[in-house]
A and B are shown apart, each in its own frame.
Chain A
């Protein structure tokens, strides 16, 4: 017979869930920004001068991923 652990540490479980579920949204958002940027370049290659703008928007989205990462140390 196999005895598993008696008590489950729910804090560690919560940390894992927060990080795991919290990174899905920003990753999808940044992927969408990237794909639309590439599509726009495909139609009109002059748009590549707006790469700085795309990075700014990515940093705005990145805020939510960092908030999920920072809650590891708060929980």
Chain B
């Protein structure tokens, strides 16, 4: 009787994957993680980059980086303006969403340059990590965006009309009350869904690149190239999706509630007025 021993070929060391950011130093008693540190660097780069581009704008288009940035700005501002029924109302929300798009895009893309990750270590921790690969960061972005969206829609429409749009009848009816509360809950889950989507896409991309860099020991630049290209595309797509979803939340609120308000106002056409007067 020879027991068959199942030998398993376990690798002695696997790829080092970091799912959460790690503390580098602390200011007084607040710990600064590597994602926050790189987020500061990226925000500085974003401000300097956009100001430099804005100075080089000319009336006649010149080929170059300025044209590409101008095209993206026009793309997002057309998107924001065309979502509203009343274009002049949507015009004042353009700067926030364009800045949000460039912020998320740059933070996603600057996480792909060589050096960000385990290459540069600080006391055995990676020194730099993309800012959007930190759940705290995307939660903050989602909270700020949805506060802006709800605050703007309340300011456009009025608090009473905004709370009234959850309920399809009178809130004293228990069925309508429950439906209204569930609608309110979906408003809260939008924050979570926006932030989790961005965080998971970027973190899973980092994990995939780390795994494939480990698999091709010497040929790591070859094996990770298709995945870095995929991450370029995914980073841009996720920035676009974040912006388009928040714009559609704002535009749907404003359009639907002003539509309801316009129905109940005294804008009844002449013929209907005559009919109601005769009846």
Please, which residues of chain B bring their CB within 8 A of the CB of A62? Answer: 197, 201
B204:A66 contact, CB within 8 angstroms: yes
User: A1-45 interface mask toward B, CB cutoff 8 Å, 1 = contact, 0 = none?
Assistant: 111110000000000000000000000000000000000000000
- Give A2 to B5 CA distance when docked, in angstroms: 8
Q: How far is the CA of A35 from the CA of B38 in the complex (A)?
A: 41
Contacts of A66 in B (CB 8 A): 197, 200-201, 204
Give the residues in chain A near B3, CB-CB below 8 Å: 1-3
User: A63-B197, A67-B196 in contact; A56/B1 too (CB < 8 A)?
Assistant: no
Known contacts A3-B3, A3-B4, A5-B6; A59 and B204 CB within 8 A of each other = no
Contact A1 B6 (CB under 8 A): no
Report B-chain residues with C-beta under 8 Å of the C-beta of A2: 3-4
B22 within 8 A of A: no
Complex interface residues of chain B between 2 and 60 (CB less than 8 A to chain A): 3-6, 19
CB distance from A67 to the nearest CB of B (A): 7
A73 within 8 A of B: yes
Q: Which residues of A contact B4 (CB under 8 A)?
A: 2-3
B197 with A59: CB separation less than 8 A: yes
Q: Contact at A59–B241, with CB atoms within 8 Å?
A: yes
Listed in ascending order, the chain A residues whose CB lies under 8 Å from chain B are: 1-5, 55-56, 59-60, 62-63, 66-67, 69-70, 73
Chain B interface (Cβ within 8 Å of chain A)? 1, 3-6, 19, 193, 196-197, 200-201, 203-204, 237-238, 240-241, 244-245
7 A-B pairs in the complex with CB atoms less than 8 angstroms apart:
A1-B1, A2-B4, A3-B5, A56-B244, A59-B238, A62-B201, A63-B197
Query: What 4 A-B pairs are tightest by C-beta distance, nearest first?
Result: A66-B200, A3-B3, A2-B4, A63-B197
